[in-house]
Structure 1
Amino acid sequence: MIVYRMLFARTFDPIALYRVEEGSRRSITADRVFFVDVNPSYERVMKVRRRDVIGRSFLDVWPISEPRWSQIIVDCLRLGHSVHCEGNSKEAGSFLEAIAFPLPPGMAAVIFLDKTKLKDADEALDRKKNELRNLATQLTLTEESTRRAIAADLHDRIGYDLVAQLHKIRALREKVRPALEAEMAALEANTEKLISESRSLIFELSPPILKEVGINPALESLADNLLTPHGIKWELRAKGTMADFWADDAVCVILYRMARELLINVIKHSGATRVTIIVNRGPGKIMVAVEDNGRGFPENFDLDHNEARKETKSFGLFSIRERLEPIGGTLKIISIPGKGATVAMACPLKLKEGEFK
């Protein structure tokens, strides 16, 4: 008993002992739970004196306390095992974790752990995570803006010059001597090749049709450029029109870039022979999904699991989700091992005012 009193008194964490009013164990309520003892830490943290609480009911001492703190006492006595809860305590002025456990016959003990610093650290970490997500999304949009500027510059300054040079070469071919015909033909062919390569480079940097025509034609062109050379058949299915459900340019940029990542994943990892790209527009939402008939994901695949994210494919999906979240987007994966996978991205049509503009 002496050892118990020493441990009880010297424990740094607040502890309170309670008893149930005789005859109320079958229908326990908070008003029938009475203080038996509290340790000095309880007095200090809860700002009460031991002599003022002993013998009084919980609700008498704490009449406006959050229900969670009395409910765990009731639950542990009723269920016969420990019960846990946590939350902000107005009385202590801190974030507490409470663990209640029964002490037969008809008694319970609750130990309180101050988790304020841990809670603050978790909230600070969450804020930093959100900041990183926002930065990643902003980086994607800034990168797209830079890509568009470079692509436009290439098109205006180099593309036009190459086309003008081609016209001059064709005109000269009609005037040169037959001995130079072969050389002029080779020069013409090389210029045509440069024009084709510059157009491909401009498309890879930033497809003009994404801004000028919309995401559907841009995704079709993307699929043709990425999938067709690998012998992967593809189709695009669409529901809802741009006229009825117009999406912000920034939303389309994110979805296009993330769809590109998904198609590259299909090529590298899935072993698929067919891909379906789905674009659905509706009130307030736009969805882009990539569906393939490849090997799918492992059973019980968990994108949040650290081991899963070590794989390139999984980390790519994790990165996609991180870029979608800041604009209110979501990522959903449906897969049957050996029977393909569907990865669906959904975003609001409009960004909040001032967000990623």
Structure 2
Amino acid sequence: MSLFWRLLLLNAAVLVAGAAALLLGPATVSAPFFVAEALILAIGLAVMLVVNAILLRIGLAPLERLARVMTTIDPLRPGARLAVTGHGETADLIKTFNTMLDRLEDERATSSAVALSAQEAERHRIAQELHDEVGQTLTAVLLELKRVADQAPETVATALHQVQETTRDSLDEIRRIARRLRPGVLEELGLVSALKALTTEVPPRTGLIARCHLDSDLPDLGDATELVLYRVAQESLTNTVRHARATRVELSLRSGPTGVELSIRDNGGGLGSAPEGAGIRGMRERALLIGARLTLGPGARGGTEVRLHVPTATKAPEHV
């Protein structure tokens, strides 16, 4: 039965019940009416309105729940579905809404996988160019500066040595950027070594002490899952260095009976009321691609804690 007919029949039932009460009950109305008769009619009308309101509330409750779910849906936190309740058009509407969410989440996961794969390919290309082009050029400049400094007068040689140090620092920075863009240590030595390297690359000038606790007996996670774990750890450490005002950060990777869990905890100022930026949204999208669960919040002893739980049975996509 459609929603229109159900509402019509509910109202008709209330009106019929009121009319029957007037016809069969002892109450009568005279002309002119008395105050007692008006009071009886007012009470009857109030009862009819209350009953009608209760019946409409019950009939429209599934639509109200659907509206609340629609306002709280977050594409980066999938899985929210509304239980199919009600009858007729209401139940069909809830089923259609749930089906639409399934389709949108599948399409978003597919498009995100393509976009992130293209992003990784572009990072690989830029890192390669930095290493092969800019890195080799700066290396040649260093060698030429050394040759000129060896033949120059002492005052000029001192200035050239300072230029050498500046150029060498720039070359080290370019190599560091290239490593961040393309985690070669992840491909060559594995996830554990790559995460250790991340903690050692925290700039000393920040005063941040980084520690890592990594299990060595990890299950076979696959290249895509390892890359997601690495990128989430990388982005979390970057956020800690830039925004947390922390003095200590701990990175841990543990293997448990239900899966692998990555955790990054700091003792900084916490997230506060700041909205999530592009970096956090990127971490959530990567987590969705491998069926992992990402949570961000205050740590047990203050600061911020990022957790990424990867179920062991998760089958990651071929490319991320």
What range describes the TM-score normalised by the shorter chain of this pair? 0.5 to 0.7
Aligned to 2:78: none
Q: How does 1:56-205 map to 2 (within 5 A)?
A: 97-98=85-86, 112-178=88-154, 180-205=156-181
Which one has the bigger strand percentage? 1
| 1:154-205 superposed Cα distances (whole Å, 9 cap, x missing partner) | 2123323322332343234333455643454344334323322321331332
Mind listing any 5+ residue stretches in structure 2 that lack a counterpart?
A: 14-57, 64-82
**Could you tell me which amino acid in structure 2 is paired with residue 327 of structure 1?**
I
| C-alpha distance 13-213 of structure 1, shift in aligned 2 (>3 A) | same
Which one has the bigger helix percentage? 2
Contact 1:277 1:288 in 2 (8 A): yes
Contact 1:294 1:338 in 2 (8 A): no
Contact 2:233 2:264 in 1 (8 A): yes
Which secondary structure does the structure 2 equivalent of 1:312 belong to? coil
Contact 1:275 1:290 in 2 (8 A): yes
Q: Does 1:342 align with 2:318?
A: no
Which secondary structure does the structure 1 equivalent of 2:318 belong to? coil
RMSD: 4.1
* Divergent runs of 4+, >6 A: 14-17, 82-86
Contact 1:251 1:350 in 2 (8 A): no
Contact 1:277 1:291 in 2 (8 A): yes
| C-alpha distance 154-350 of structure 1, shift in aligned 2 (>3 A) | farther
1:245 aligned to which of 219, 240, 249: 219
CA distance in 1, matches of 2:162, 2:298: 51
Which secondary structure does the structure 1 equivalent of 2:5 belong to? coil
**Could you tell me which amino acid in structure 2 is paired with residue 258 of structure 1?**
V
Contact 2:191 2:226 in 1 (8 A): yes
Aligned to 2:5: 12
| C-alpha distance 112-188 of structure 1, shift in aligned 2 (>3 A) | closer
Aligned to 2:292: 329
Deviation of the 1:290 alpha carbon: 0.5
CA distance in 2, matches of 1:179, 1:274: 44
**Could you tell me which amino acid in structure 2 is paired with residue 292 of structure 1?**
D
| C-alpha distance 229-141 of structure 1, shift in aligned 2 (>3 A) | farther
| C-alpha distance 177-349 of structure 1, shift in aligned 2 (>3 A) | farther
| C-alpha distance 227-342 of structure 1, shift in aligned 2 (>3 A) | farther
Which secondary structure does the structure 2 equivalent of 1:247 belong to? coil
Deviation of the 1:352 alpha carbon: 3.6
TM-score by length of 2: 0.62
CA distance in 1, matches of 2:261, 2:289: 16
Q: Does 1:235 align with 2:211?
A: yes
CA distance in 2, matches of 1:127, 1:9: 26
**Could you tell me which amino acid in structure 2 is paired with residue 142 of structure 1?**
A
Deviation of the 1:144 alpha carbon: 2.0
| 1:32-91 superposed Cα distances (whole Å, 9 cap, x missing partner) | xxxxx9xxxxxxxxxxxxxxxxxxxxxxxxxxxxxxxxxxxxxxxxxxxx79999xxxxx
| 1:250-295 superposed Cα distances (whole Å, 9 cap, x missing partner) | 2222122222332344345544322110012467843211022345
| 1:12-34 superposed Cα distances (whole Å, 9 cap, x missing partner) | 239999xxxxxxxxxxxxxxxxx
CA distance in 2, matches of 1:124, 1:139: 22
Which secondary structure does the structure 1 equivalent of 2:228 belong to? helix
Q: How does 1:284-323 map to 2 (within 5 A)?
A: 285-296=259-270, 311-313=274-276, 317=280, 319-323=282-286
Deviation of the 1:235 alpha carbon: 0.2
Deviation of the 1:329 alpha carbon: 1.0
Which secondary structure does the structure 2 equivalent of 1:201 belong to? helix
Q: Does 1:262 align with 2:236?
A: yes
Contact 1:329 1:345 in 2 (8 A): yes
Contact 2:84 2:95 in 1 (8 A): no
Which secondary structure does the structure 2 equivalent of 1:240 belong to? coil
**Could you tell me which amino acid in structure 2 is paired with residue 97 of structure 1?**
T
Which secondary structure does the structure 2 equivalent of 1:123 belong to? helix
Deviation of the 1:351 alpha carbon: 6.6
Contact 1:333 1:344 in 2 (8 A): yes
CA distance in 2, matches of 1:276, 1:337: 13
CA distance in 1, matches of 2:242, 2:160: 42
